[in-house]
Amino acid sequence: MAETLISVPPRARRGEIVEIKTLISHPMETGYRRSQLGARIPRDIIRLFVCTYNGAEVFRAALHPAIAANPFITFSTVATETGTLTFHWTGDNGFSVKETAEIRVE
Amino acid sequence: MPLRTTRREFLRAATAGMAAIVAVRPAAATPAAMQDAIGAVVGTARVTKGRVKLELPPLSENGNAVPLTVSVESAMTPAEHVRAIHVFTEKNPQPDVVSVRLGPRAGRARVSTRIRLADTQTVVAIAELSDGSFWSAEAAVVVTLAACLEET
């Protein structure tokens, strides 16, 4: 299971722009490297990252092999209501990790 | 008979040699491949320089993780916002880096990540606005240690 690190402010004022930082452990194997025996190492990357806020999509990123290992993504969203932010990473070889974070809006 | 080369002969040979080098297609993406990738995103629309800010270190010691931040001047309102941000490279094996979709709920159009760079090259960021216009910025990065292609 891939480890994730998510930073979401636990509390925010309504309408405030909050910064969200996400990090997930993943090798992001490009598919362009060769092993010492000369065999091509198959591609194994995270292809898609989606963030939803109480079910509504607020951010989506399509990743390519040029994203560094352990993808780190920072973006922002407007704190509209108290609820749950869901982070979903999907990729090659059936990779799928979902994490959630709570935010309280006052 | 001594082997004498006239200036004209030398230039002709040099030009032929240079053409041969250009004809060999490199394994990496080329500026042309990047233009194709950009064309696939923007279609026939015009891309104007400006409004986009692409932050990259001018000199990177390690091409395996280069911090990148793209921000776009926009009010991020339902009427006027940034729909997407795309990043491309010139000399990586593949020109696409990341494509981000956002909307008015983002609040501000600013995204950061870490990218791989296989060589000293130019990186291009293109923003797609809600009015259908495209804006771009580019940055040159000198990479001393390229993103490795061998198993470590």
> Most A CBs within 10 Å: which of B113, B115, B141, as the mutation test of the A interface?
B113
pLDDT tens profile B117-126: 998 999 999 9
Minimal Cα–Cα distance from B58 to chain A, Å?
Answer: 18
Range of the domain at A79: 4-105
Q: If pLDDT is split at 50, 70 and 90, which confidence band does B23 have?
A: very low
Residues whose CB is less than 8 angstroms from the CB of residue B108 and which lie 6 or more positions away in sequence, other chains included: A17, A76, B71, B76
Q: If pLDDT is split at 50, 70 and 90, which confidence band does B151 have?
A: low
State pTM to two decimals: 0.83
> Most A CBs within 10 Å: which of B60, B91, B105, as the mutation test of the A interface?
B105
pLDDT tens series, chain A, 106 aa? 689 999 999 999 999 999 999 999 999 999 988 888 889 999 999 999 999 999 999 999 999 999 999 999 999 999 999 999 999 999 999 999 999 999 999 8
CATH number at residue A41: 2.60.40.10
What is the ipTM for the molecules in this complex? Answer: 0.91
Q: If pLDDT is split at 50, 70 and 90, which confidence band does B18 have?
A: low
Least confident residue range of B35-44, B52-61, B82-91: B35-44
Chain A residues contacting B via beta carbons under 8 Å? 17-18, 30, 32-36, 41, 53, 56, 58-69, 71-78, 80
Residue with tokens 């939803």: A52
What are the extents of the domains in chain B?
28-145
Size of interface A-B (CB pairs under 8 A): 103
Q: Quick one: three-class SS letters along B11-38?
A: HHHHHHHHHHHHHCCCCCCCHHHHHHHH
Q: How many domains does chain A have?
A: 1
What is the CATH code of the structural domain delimited by B28-145?
Answer: 2.60.40.2470
